[in-house]
């Protein structure tokens, strides 16, 4: 590159205005990035936060709290209701659905994911999914006129929504095809406690069952064992697939997710990706995974901005992955890999539960249910690989926070 070229202002185009895209733009602006930044999103709204969509927004309809803040400064150009159609990685251009093209020096893909659908229910009325603000509004609207909600899929979003509907007085049912709840994201022992909790709140949960048909007349769903369950509204929450077609069509390596390294680089020069759409190496498991969490979308995006603004100091992104899920009054937190060969439980005086996993004597994962106070401290043990022993952790008089502080100081 000639000196003349390198002195030109860099032009960054970010595709996707969710949490990850917003955070790249926001962090670049905050850190005084000299280039031009354009954020392209296909929705009409300003960037918003998704966690409230299954909870607060359903309960009180208050949309004022969902907008991501602080608002992006005017120097970030925002294109709304514009869909990116194709990347030309050689000419470094992005083609949009209005036929225009945006030139870029650096392109960031933050295109997220979309909900999987069930072929046997696709296109039926009263069958919805939850990803966007429009989806959340449609569900809220539908819930006002039905007596019951059927959620297909016992993952975090489905369970949060079922709990919200139950709190609104709707008859809530969850049908999950695997033998337990949260099979992809939480340890079995926590899932069992959550199952009891949701049932105690009046939510009917059918495990190892699938929905085979909807009866439009009775507004019921028919399960594979012939049972009928109330289904005034059906929401399908069985996972997501990555919106990686833009990248794949440009010849960038993808497999239900865009492969990136710790510097958020894809296999095309100057094309980066962040957030749910990425497939990255999880530093705890060592595997390439798609990490669909709020913390990853936020952290990976901020890491990319730091790498650009401060290349000498910023290291590769290798944060320990974690998530929360607020289901009714249940507060679930999980971090790291809950697959260690050794594990121990604690139940605190208020009934909160803490689960720690060890592998080779080191803490690899932590999960808490209604014990939020212990989660943050224990999570800190996963990164520096300081450790406490299962015996220390399990001692009845143990003060978790003090133990963690000692371990980190040692």
When binding is defined by CB under 8 A, the residue of 263, 288, 324, 345 that contacts another protein is: 324
CB 408 within 8 Å of CB 400: no
Is 281 a binding residue for another protein by CB under 8 A? The answer is no
When binding is defined by CB under 8 A, the residue of 31, 69, 100, 208 that contacts another protein is: 69
Is 321 a binding residue for another protein by CB under 8 A? The answer is no
Q: C-beta of 368: minimal distance to another protein in Å?
A: 9
Is 265 a binding residue for another protein by CB under 8 A? The answer is no
Q: C-beta of 20: minimal distance to another protein in Å?
A: 12
Closest to another protein by CB, 35 vs 376, is 376
Closest to another protein by CB, 294 vs 345, is 294
When binding is defined by CB under 8 A, the residue of 33, 197, 322, 393 that contacts another protein is: 322
Q: C-beta of 380: minimal distance to another protein in Å?
A: 9
Q: C-beta of 169: minimal distance to another protein in Å?
A: 21
CB 149 within 8 Å of CB 133: no
Is 376 a binding residue for another protein by CB under 8 A? The answer is yes
Closest to another protein by CB, 19 vs 231, is 19
Q: Identify which range of 34-42, 268-276, 305-313, 368-376 contacts another protein by CB under 8 A.
A: 368-376
Q: C-beta of 299: minimal distance to another protein in Å?
A: 8
Is 294 a binding residue for another protein by CB under 8 A? The answer is yes
Is 61 a binding residue for another protein by CB under 8 A? The answer is no
CB 369 within 8 Å of CB 331: yes
Closest to another protein by CB, 230 vs 328, is 328
Is 331 a binding residue for another protein by CB under 8 A? The answer is yes
When binding is defined by CB under 8 A, the residue of 32, 44, 70, 226 that contacts another protein is: 70
Site for another protein in 25-54 (CB under 8 A): 49
Is 372 a binding residue for another protein by CB under 8 A? The answer is yes
Q: Identify which range of 145-153, 199-207, 280-288, 321-329 contacts another protein by CB under 8 A.
A: 321-329
Q: Which residues bind another protein (CB under 8 A)?
A: 49, 69-70, 294-295, 298-299, 302, 322, 324, 326, 331, 372-373, 375-377, 379, 401
């Amino acid at each position: 590159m000639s000196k003349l070229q390198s002195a030109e202002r860099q032009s960054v185009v970010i595709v996707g205005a969710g949490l990850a895209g917003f955070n790249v733009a926001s962090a670049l602006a905050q850190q005084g990035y000299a280039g031009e930044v354009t954020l392209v999103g296909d929705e009409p709204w300003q960037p918003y936060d998704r966690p409230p969509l299954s909870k607060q927004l359903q309960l009180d309809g208050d949309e004022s709290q969902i907008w991501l803040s602080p608002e992006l400064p005017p120097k970030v150009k925002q294109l709304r209701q514009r869909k990116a159609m194709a990347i030309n990685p050689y000419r470094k251009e992005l083609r949009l659905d209005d036929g225009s093209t945006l030139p870029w020096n650096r392109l960031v893909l933050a295109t997220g994911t979309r909900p999987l659908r069930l072929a046997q229910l696709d296109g039926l009325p009263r069958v919805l999914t939850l990803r966007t603000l429009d989806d959340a509004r449609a569900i809220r609207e539908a819930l006002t006129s039905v007596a019951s909600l059927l959620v297909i899929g016992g993952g975090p979003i489905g369970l949060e929504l079922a709990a919200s509907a139950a709190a609104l007085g709707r008859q809530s049912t969850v049908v999950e095809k695997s033998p337990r709840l949260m099979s992809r994201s939480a340890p079995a022992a926590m899932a069992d406690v959550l199952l009891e909790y949701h049932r105690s709140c009046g939510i009917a949960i059918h495990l190892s069952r699938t929905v085979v048909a909807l009866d439009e007349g009775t507004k019921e769903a028919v399960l594979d064992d012939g049972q009928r369950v109330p289904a005034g509204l059906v929401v399908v929450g069985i996972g997501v697939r990555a919106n990686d077609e833009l990248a794949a069509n440009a010849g960038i390596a993808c497999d239900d997710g865009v492969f990136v390294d710790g510097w958020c680089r894809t296999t095309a020069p100057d094309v980066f990706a962040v957030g749910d759409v990425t497939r990255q190496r999880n530093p705890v498991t060592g595997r390439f995974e798609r990490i669909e969490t709020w913390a990853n979308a936020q952290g990976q995006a901020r890491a990319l901005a730091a790498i650009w603004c401060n290349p000498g100091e910023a290291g590769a992104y290798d944060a320990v992955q974690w998530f929360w899920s607020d289901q009714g009054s249940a507060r679930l937190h999980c971090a790291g890999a809950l697959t260690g060969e050794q594990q121990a439980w604690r139940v605190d005086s208020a009934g909160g539960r803490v689960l720690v996993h060890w592998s080779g004597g080191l803490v690899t994962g932590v999960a808490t249910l209604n014990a939020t106070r212990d989660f943050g401290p224990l999570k800190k043990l996963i990164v520096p690989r300081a450790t406490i022993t299962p015996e220390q952790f399990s001692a009845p008089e143990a003060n978790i926070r003090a133990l963690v502080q000692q371990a980190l100081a040692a």
